[in-house]
Amino acid sequence: MRTLRCFVEGRWWQAEAGFRPLINPCTEEPIAQASSSGLDFGAALAFARTTGGEALRSLTIPERAGLLAAMSKALHERRDELIELSLATCGTTRKDAKFDLDGATGTLYYYASLGKDLGDGVWQLDGDGVQLGRSARSWGQHLRLPKRGVAIHINAFNFPCWGFAEKAACALLAGVPVLTKPATSTAWLTERCVEIVVEAGILPRGSLSLVCGSLGDAFDHLQGQDVVAFTGSADTALRIREHRNLLRQGVAVNVEADSLNAAVLAPDVEEGSETLALFYRDVERELTQKSGQKCTAVRRIFAPRERLDEIQRELTERLSRVVVGNPAEPSVTMGPLATREQLDAAVHGVERLRAAATLVLGTGERVNGLGAAPGTGYFFGPTLLRREASAGAGVVHELEVFGPVATLLGYDGDAGTAAADVGASQGTLVTSLYSDDAGWIASYLRAGGATTGRVYLGSEKGADQAPGSGVALPQMLHGGPGRAGGGAELGGQRGLALYQQTVGVMGDRALVDRVAAQ
């Protein structure tokens, strides 16, 4: 069985004990093991901070952008190999594997391009300078300097390539070294990505470290200039936020957590319209892509109450065509859930949702997968629930079932009602509004826009170019308030802010300007 390695202090390191298995979710066979037991986290972090940090900070932003471009190219050149590895170790379909990998290389490439437009310096100017006194010589200018710490990146199991790359792109461009920690269940793929980058000799020593296995006592060694960016469950996020040393040192913590994303169909959308067709396409994809294990997946579908029957009929028809099974079978369109724990959580979660809604598609139980031995594999079919009134739906607004599961909810068609009901989940990453009525959309935003990190508008004119609500494009903010974690990643330049210290420099204008231009 393969043993995954860590990459720290500029070299590969392998544990000898304390292993956790990686399981093939289609066959339930162990395929690899990972451990970080015995790793000296204090030394690993110190090396990253000093050797990696100094090297990155000595490069200009366009030079760092060049590193990202080379990473994107190196990973893209191994695209076929990485897709095969995703199929073999994560149980993802080919389409889902491409989504993860192309998302990774595309995001690296985007930040490589952005980095060429952020000036030629080692820091970024933050807006224009400002006159401070009566005389124009008294001047202030804000600069964004790279933090002098290390960025710890903790990722969820669902995007082993993209999760690693999207966080690394922002930190490295800002000039901060990265220690990336993938979720153990799908860490093999991330390990291979890091291996490819290391083998290509792209990054300065110390600027990228990898931990497969737990983070051990790493948090005890963090300092005030370090950063933690976490993606995963709200429970783990709470444990991280509460860590005594992180609180004592004031370490910046960014959290991307659970999200009960919503798709809202407005009353102006007519039968047979392009907007309605887009709504169906999007909802179907958001429910089934990556087997519904996407933080941006649609969990709640709101529609005017009188249209629930029509919408349920169309969605169940589409979702019934999904073929669940081992992606090695060419006809399979949706793979298994990632782990036994995720399967158990989905079964238990649907049981809980049934207290407030009626199951209209699926069994709420594990199913047999095509091309897998009967009774084996973490397969769970597309599952749709329905409730007539979105108000008072309790658990539907509180429980994220991380699988191909969503609930169809009726509302009265009013934008204010929809906003209030969507907001009952206390914060989403993305809310999709399907409407061609700008007035209705504006009313929704006034009433509830602040409860989400991103609003995706599905409309007649935009339908042919709509990327889908679940795509976290690097140009747009990824993060949401409240339950979604309160974090902010990506969003162009905004994604760099976590890794930068904004410093106001004030003094004589000529001197300030000369300093800022360095």
275 vs 296 by CB, closer to ligand NAP: 296
Query: For residues 139 and 506, is the Cβ–Cβ distance under 8 A?
Result: yes
Give all strands of the β-sheet with 11-13 in edge-to-edge order.
Answer: 11-13, 6-8, 208-210, 178-181, 151-154, 227-231, 252-256
Of the residues 184, 390, 407, 469, which one makes contact with ligand NAP according to CB under 6 A: 184
Site for ligand NAP (CB under 6 A): which residue of 9, 284, 400, 436? 400
- Quick one: how far is CA 287 from the chain centroid? 16
Binding track, positions 461-500, relative to ligand NAP; x by CB under 6 A? -----------------------xx---------------
Rounded Cα distance, 475 and 492, in Å: 5
337 or 385, CB closer to ligand NAP?
Answer: 337
- Give residue for tokens 């007035």: 439
In the Cβ-directed half-sphere of 286, how many Cα atoms lie within 13 Å? 31
* CB closer to ligand NAP, 19 vs 279: 19
Q: What are the beta bridge partners of residue 301?
A: 263, 408
Q: Which is nearer to ligand NAP, 141 or 190 (CB)?
A: 190
Among 44, 56, 183, 203, binds ligand NAP (CB under 6 A): 183
Q: Which residue is nearest to ligand NAP (CB)?
A: 232
d(CA 170, CA 45): 19
Minimum CB separation of residue 273 from ligand NAP in Å reads 32
Span from 166-174, 178-186, 310-318, 491-499 in contact with ligand NAP (CB under 6 A): 178-186
9 binds ligand NAP (CB under 6 A): no
- Residue closer to ligand NAP by CB (options 158, 469) is 158
Among 202, 64, 170, 177, residue whose Cα is nearest residue 122: 64
Which residue, 287 or 463, has its beta carbon nearer to ligand NAP? Answer: 287
Judged by CB under 6 A, the residue of 31, 196, 198, 215 near ligand NAP is 215
Smallest gap from Cβ 21 to ligand NAP, in A, equals 12
Residue 407 pairs in a beta bridge with 300, 385
413-452 positions binding ligand NAP, by CB under 6 A: 429
- Please report which helix (H) or strand (E) contains residue 503, including its range: strand 500-508
Q: Which residues pair with 131 in a beta bridge?
A: 139
Q: Please identify which residue in 50, 51, 223, 236 interacts with ligand NAP, judged by CB under 6 A.
A: 236
User: Which residues, 6 or more positions from 516, have their beta carbon under 8 angstroms from its beta carbon?
Assistant: 125, 129, 141, 143, 505
DSSP for 404-462?
A: SEEEEEEE-S-HHHHHHHHHTTS-BS-EEEE-S-HHHHHHHHHHHGGGBS-EEEE-TTT
Q: How far is CA 151 from CA 68, 74, 184, 251, 291, in A?
A: 16, 22, 19, 10, 30
- With CB under 6 A as the rule, give the number of residues binding ligand NAP: 27
Q: Does 154 bind ligand NAP (CB under 6 A)?
A: yes
What distances in angstroms separate CA 217 from CA 33, 220, 249, 513, one per listed residue? 20, 6, 15, 44
Q: What is the maximum span of the chain, computed from C-alpha positions, in angstroms?
A: 81
- Residues 252-291, one symbol each (x = binds ligand NAP by CB under 6 A, - = not), give ----xxxx--------------------------------
Tokens standing for residue 165: 């790359």
**Among residues 41 and 110, whose Cβ is nearest to ligand NAP?**
41
Active site residue ranges: 256, 295
Of the candidates 322, 334, 324, 325, the residue with the CA atom closest to the CA atom of residue 372: 325
Told to check if 156 binds ligand NAP by CB under 6 A, we report: yes
Identify which range of 96-104, 153-161, 389-397, 459-467 contacts ligand NAP by CB under 6 A: 153-161
| Closer CB to ligand NAP, 71 or 343, in the complex | 343
Candidates 105-113, 228-236, 263-271, 414-422; binding stretch for ligand NAP (CB under 6 A): 228-236
> Smallest distance from the beta carbon of 503 to ligand NAP, in angstroms?
29
Question: Considering only residues 24, 72, 89, 158, which one is a binding residue for ligand NAP as defined by CB under 6 A?
Answer: 158
Binding site for ligand NAP (CB under 6 A): 154-158, 181, 183-185, 214-215, 231-233, 236, 239-240, 256-259, 295, 400, 402, 429, 484-485
